[in-house]
Amino acid sequence: MRWQRQPSTMLPQANYLDETRCVPYMLTELSLRADESLYGFGERFTAFAKNGQTVQTWNEDGGTASDFVYKAVPFYLSNKGYGVLVNHTGNVSFEVASEKVGFVGFSVPGEALQYTFFYGPDLLDVLRSYTAMTGRPALPPAWSFGLWLSTSFTTNYDEATTSSFIQGMADRDIPLSVFHFDCFWMREFRWCDFQWDERVFPDTQAMLQRYKDRGLKICVWINPYVAQNTALFEEGRREGYLLERADGKGVWQTDNWQAGMGVVDFTKPAACAWYQQQLKGLLDLGVDCFKTDFGERIPVNVRYHDGSDPVAM
């Protein structure tokens, strides 16, 4: 279902919610039954049934004790056997039986609103129809469903520490499938330059091989940011692999996570190949998979190589 405001026409659903900026929004409301509950909207840390909540589909770093989300999806399920997907890549604002108890309302900036209604009546059928439209993930390898053991983000560790963790599991007859190295496999203030910290891992390849000889798969933590205090940042800036400022005057930088960090511009094919090359080096060393962290701190005041809308990105 798609609504669009045409020239010289008036639609009651076209509401100007921001009078100071004269930004048009499209708003619609769907009725709810008295015993109806809505679920979904992506990964959420609030009450499972979303009735009574205001939900924003905007990815933002906020931990697990707030209404901020890392994986927002403008799709919800109803216990009455249907689902609704709002086809909008930016922020969709939902009022889930909150502003009006008998309705779910949703709005998007602009002059067009498109959403799709999926009917089951079984909720599994709703999900099958939804994923048939939006895509289905590949089945992960069997070993990924085993038990994972990880270092802590806030704890310093070295080869002796990680070896003791793995041996401790074996001593307790606890089967282990994957060992994960979190942030500090790299030097502090150099995330992500993809270089192992040789002060604590002097022979990384030999260490990883010993772990793999025990039947373990290896995972390491990465993110799409490159700290200024790295050779990789200088290479990325020189070759144009990092996001530019909106005015085109240099690389966009921030201190949110690492001092002066830049963000890889994945809309540029050469930047993708460059990033893949860094990952290939780790795979060749013995790493099997990656924890792809962050990505929600993507700025909107930047310029993409292919001209993509920063808000949609």
Residue pLDDT, tens place only, 133-154: 999 999 999 999 999 999 987 6
pLDDT for 3 equals 47
φ/ψ bin of 248: left (φ > 0), alpha (ψ from -120 to 50), beta (otherwise): left
Could you say which architecture CATH assigns to the domain 142-303? Alpha-Beta Barrel (3.20)
Residue 15 has pLDDT above 60, yes or no: no
| pTM recorded for the entire structure | 0.83
Predicted confidence band at 115 (pLDDT cuts at 50, 70, 90)?
A: very high
Catalytically active residues are 293, 296
Interatomic CA distance for residues 263 and 226, integer angstroms = 6
H or E element that contains 2: strand 2-4
pLDDT band (50, 70, 90) for residue 304 = very high
Helices vs. strands in the chain: H and E counts, helices first: 5, 18
pLDDT digits (tens, 9 = 90+) for 147-199: 999 998 767 789 999 999 999 999 999 999 999 999 999 998 899 999 999 99
Which residues, listed in sequence order, are joined to residue 226 by a DSSP beta bridge?
262
Q: What percent of the chain has pLDDT over 90?
A: 71
| Domain range list for the chain | 25-134, 142-303
Higher pLDDT, 11 or 311: 311
Mind spelling out the 3-state secondary structure of 219-282?
EEEECCEECCCCHHHHHHHHHCCECEECCCCCECCECCCCCCEEEECCCCHHHHHHHHHHHHHH
Q: What is the full DSSP assignment across 128-184?
A: HHHHHHH--PPPPPGGGGS-EEE--TTS---HHHHHHHHHHHHHTT----EEEE-GG
**Cα dist from 205 to 165, 197, 198, 210, 284, whole Å:** 18, 12, 11, 9, 9
Residue 60 binned pLDDT confidence (cut-offs 50, 70, 90):
confident
Mean pLDDT of 279-284: 98
For position 21, what pLDDT does the model report? 62
- Assess contact for 236 and 256: CB atoms under 8 A: no
Mean pLDDT for all residues in the chain: 89
The tokens describing 195, both together, are: 């270089």
What confidence score (pLDDT) does residue 36 get? 96
110: amino acid identity, one letter: G
Q: What angle do CA 266, 268, 270 make, to 5 degrees?
A: 105
CB-based contacts of 262, cutoff 8 Å, min separation 6: 225, 226, 228, 233, 236, 237, 242, 243, 251, 252, 253
Classify domain 25-134 at the CATH superfamily level.
Answer: glycosyl hydrolase (family 31) (2.60.40.1760)
pLDDT of amino acid 257: 78
